Amino acid sequence: MKTKLHKIIIIAVVIITTAIISVTGCLEKAFVFFGLKRLPDSADAVRFVDVGQGDCTLVQSDGTVMLIDTGDASHAISLCNYIRSLGFEKIDRVIITHPHSDHLGGLRTICQRMQVDSVYITTVPPSDLRDREVFDGFKESYSGEIVSLAEMDDFRFGGFDVSTVFFDENAADENDRSAVISIRFGEYDFLVTGDISGNDVNINHSADVLKIAHHGSQTGTSAELLDAVKPDYAVISVGADNSYDHPSDEVLSRLKEWETKIYRTDCNGMVSFFLNDGMQIITEY
């Protein structure tokens, strides 16, 4: 009797599954129906991910995802888990603004755990031995497409236009070798600055949202930069109770003088800008 009942149950499950696949014409939708998989988050959004004393900007559009920097190695697994929780099984592109461990350190683990199609990164290695080890380790282990930052053309990513606003690969200060990236969606422009410092006076680009350089260090975010960018919102990616006293009082004062709304990952957690119906800002731990 039990054997017969088991057979009936199995047959019923097969019939239901077959019917779903037949109606939808897509196995993936069957997995979604049974809760085995979720579809990629459909929002067009820019998320400044809380990766402690590091940087990571997640851009999602049209069912695809791109990262600008990855944070350090200690946050890589949780970052992968978060990306998968949004329904993404692969990362279309990664842009590394400059090869310091707090921006590059998570990339090797991410590439091991998820498919990453393309990585844009400088060809100039860092001088610090630890950073150099991370830089070389990634290049030796990654089998996908590597594109020199100096050769990165402007491109379309879903609903976003992505372009390099400033990049000085041979600057004396390694932080000033950061690529400054504009990601624009319709009327909204985001400027991601890496750790650029003195070179920020060369930036002539307005934006609604400014990712503050170098975690709010006093060496960056000059008055000249703010005069050029004129941001309505500033996001500071910074670790709680960090040993560098970031963000600096000088930078915070400059932003307040400009009446810029400030978000901090150490205080607000991840800061997400949703762009499908105007701009909506959500913070979450």
Q: Give the pLDDT confidence of 76-115 residue by residue, as tens digits.
A: 999 999 999 999 999 999 999 999 999 999 999 999 999 9
**pLDDT confidence of residue 251:** 98
Which is more confidently placed, 29 or 16? 16
Which of the four CATH numbers 3.20.20.70, 3.60.70.12, 3.40.50.720, 3.60.15.10 does domain 38-284 have?
Answer: 3.60.15.10
Contacts of 260 (CB under 8 A, 6+ apart): 210, 226, 231, 232, 233, 234
Confidence check: pLDDT of 270 > 80: yes
**Could you tell me the two tokens for 262?**
């400030």
Confidence at 30, pLDDT banded by 50, 70, 90? very low
- In one-letter notation, the amino acid at residue 119 is V
Residues of the chain with CATH 3.60.15.10: 38-284
Rounded to 5°, the CA angle 96-100-101 comes to: 100
21 has a pLDDT exceeding 80: no
Q: What pLDDT score does 33 carry?
A: 46
Pick from 147, 190, 195: which is nearest to 165 by CA? 190
Q: Residue 32's pLDDT is what?
A: 46
Whether residue 31 has pLDDT greater than 60: no
List Cα–Cα distances, 183 to 83, 123, 230, in angstroms: 19, 23, 16
Strand partners, 190: 183, 209
Tokens of 166: 């400033």
pLDDT of res. 84: 98
* Residue 38, pLDDT score: 78
| Inter-residue contact 106 to 70 (CB < 8 Å) | yes
Q: What one-character DSSP code corresponds to residue 53?
A: S
